């Protein structure tokens, strides 16, 4: 029986890499794939394969994919300088974890695939789950490539949640955390879900106070159930 790692590598080399190289603007060739630069955790490999089998990754051309409720198409690789020949490219871990997280919502928490999306319309969140076809998201999820980045994001978000008049900190991480809180305030998703590699998962119940303060209360994984 073929194991998930072997199957994933075959999928990457037979389908994902050649499809990515169809984007003429990137000027990438399959021989430029740097498989060892970024490694996908075995847990994330299994989740990604579930997403692939579910048809959650819909190809839209030029090496990009979107989901049924997705707002933005995404590639699965990141490329190096154009001056290189062949131009190198490697796994982009966040989208791989994102699509795997969507599969988790379906397999582990009973969400229909048609109500799960990659990227919210305002780009504030990487994963969204909707209670119905037309409503605002019930789950707003954010993906980071390391567990440390997940924990740091939550710390920064807690600061902005506690002070509705606070402004974004300088630097990419501060602005990113601020954007999540602004997205929560705008649509009041009752659940925030932070995901990292190797199945790392921190879900929160979100409470919105009249003062504008937002309370993030860490919850059991079961809160993600549809």
What confidence tens digit (pLDDT) does each residue in 148-196 have?
999 999 999 999 999 888 776 767 888 999 999 999 999 999 999 999 9
Average pLDDT over residues 39-49: 97
> Is the pLDDT reported for residue 8 higher than 90?
yes
| Mean of pLDDT over the chain | 95
> Is the pLDDT reported for residue 1 higher than 80?
no
Domain layout of the chain by residue ranges: 4-94, 120-224
Average pLDDT over residues 46-74: 95
CB under 8 Å to 203, separation ≥6 — which residues?
Answer: 191, 192, 193, 194, 218, 219, 220, 221, 223, 224
The tokens for 223 are 């809160």
pLDDT at position 88 is 97
Average pLDDT over residues 14-30: 97
Contact present, 48 and 92 (Cβ < 8 Å): no
Contact present, 47 and 4 (Cβ < 8 Å): no
pLDDT band of 57, cuts 50, 70, 90: very high
CA distances from 3 to 10, 35, 62, 102, 197 (A): 11, 18, 29, 22, 20
pLDDT band of 103, cuts 50, 70, 90: very high
The tokens for 78 are 């990141």
Nearest-angstrom CA–CA distance, 16 and 28: 13
Average pLDDT over residues 31-52: 97
pLDDT at position 170 is 62
pTM value > 0.85: yes
């Amino acid at each position: 029986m073929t194991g998930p790692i072997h199957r994933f590598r075959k999928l990457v080399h037979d389908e994902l890499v050649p499809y990515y190289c169809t984007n003429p603007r990137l000027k990438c060739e399959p021989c430029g794939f740097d498989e060892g630069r970024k490694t996908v955790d075995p847990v994330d490999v299994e989740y990604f394969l579930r997403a692939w089998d579910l048809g959650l990754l819909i190809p839209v051309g030029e090496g990009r994919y979107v989901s049924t409720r997705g707002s933005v198409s995404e590639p699965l690789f990141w490329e190096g300088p154009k001056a290189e020949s062949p131009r190198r490219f490697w796994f982009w871990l966040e989208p791989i974890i994102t699509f795997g997280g969507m599969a988790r919502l379906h397999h582990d928490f009973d969400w229909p695939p048609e109500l799960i999306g990659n990227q919210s319309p305002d780009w504030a969140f990487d994963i969204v789950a909707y209670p119905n076809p037309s409503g605002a998201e019930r789950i707003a999820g954010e993906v980071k490539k390391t567990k440390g980045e997940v924990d740091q994001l939550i710390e920064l978000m807690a600061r902005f949640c506690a002070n509705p008049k606070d402004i974004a900190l300088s630097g990419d991480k501060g602005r990113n955390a601020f954007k999540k809180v602004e997205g929560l305030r705008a649509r009041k998703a009752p659940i925030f879900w932070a995901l990292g590699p190797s199945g790392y998962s921190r879900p929160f119940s979100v409470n919105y106070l009249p003062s504008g303060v937002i309370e993030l209360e860490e919850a059991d994984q079961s809160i993600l159930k549809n």
